Structure 1
């Protein structure tokens, strides 16, 4: 497939941005989402929903909207640069104060916990992956999804999400931060859906700084209909084919 795929469906969520029309308008004039909004996630049973922090609820809300009907045989790739770092920081701060570590909080802080909660709630037993690739986590996620497509999967659900790091980590921030989540359902290239590709572009200049974290910039590229987007490292690039 030469890194090509079709975007068969999408969903996104951030503070003040929930409907597809909201996001399409945002893609034409993008700004950094401000604040933290918690989606209703009414599709998930309340007992399980209460186990999730707002970031996890955002990730599962877009996954549910992108996959309204549970589809057996549909592999999933969940990706986040930082994961549920706010929960992790709270546990570390508690340990520093001499407080015991909660096994429940620890279990829910692992990088695959949000994907696991989704698969449990929907009764899915198919393959899922949880990846992190630093600032280029979108590229890592879609690379995994392309491998799954090449291995015979008819479609792949890709879910990206991230939130602001706690203030003690401020000196390490290297891009704008906000709370957001998006999901894509991708499949083999076809004529009746937008066709994109992700591939190497050695020698290309790295992407210029934007007011968005890279994960949101990839979504903006897909929704705005732009032709190309280079990754922050300049080693990979996104391209629109149709």
Structure 2
């Protein structure tokens, strides 16, 4: 087979070693006589995959107690709505730093839920730069930004100072691509398909104290508490996608972690 160079943003290229391992295990996962595609998400085999993926992601980001890793569905686009639904109560304001198309989409969804203030935007210049100044609200419920805008090609090399406000980031296209201080974030989310796996799984890394602040009157499927209490297994998860994410995380760790990326 002639291998092509794949520059798709997402679904994006996966490591050859990961694809080879998935191929080898596809029909008979760990001697169980069935594929991981067929296994119950309540089985001990899948729970081990889920747990290992959670611990590997936390380890690669240098996070310990106080953070949870969740694997959800709906992509980053679902998080655009889920975040304000949980953390933007009536009477509060959320700040959005908008540096591209994905940040605009996140802002648009937040405005359907409550008051969203544009702390900075580079729309006037065609999203070709980062903002030179940021005007935060007096007491924002959270500050949201997109660390890397794939359409406009704008990436934060250094994060802005948001004071003590919870910092939330869409890292779909640059998560695990470089060392970062992940402890600066209250919530990180990333559709797996751009950097850490196939389409279908969404990684959410969230501070436990923020989980506790989420609205209690939302449908269960919309609450982070639901998935935290059930270790991402409240409903049937995207099992094969999480399995592949776990393989990618192991591959990154074997290379030497984020410092080697």
TM-score (norm 1): 0.31
Larger Rg: 2
Could you say which structure has the higher strand fraction? 1
TM-score (norm: length of structure 2): 0.29
The structure, 1 or 2, with the larger RCO (C-alpha pairs under 8 Å, 6+ apart) is: 1
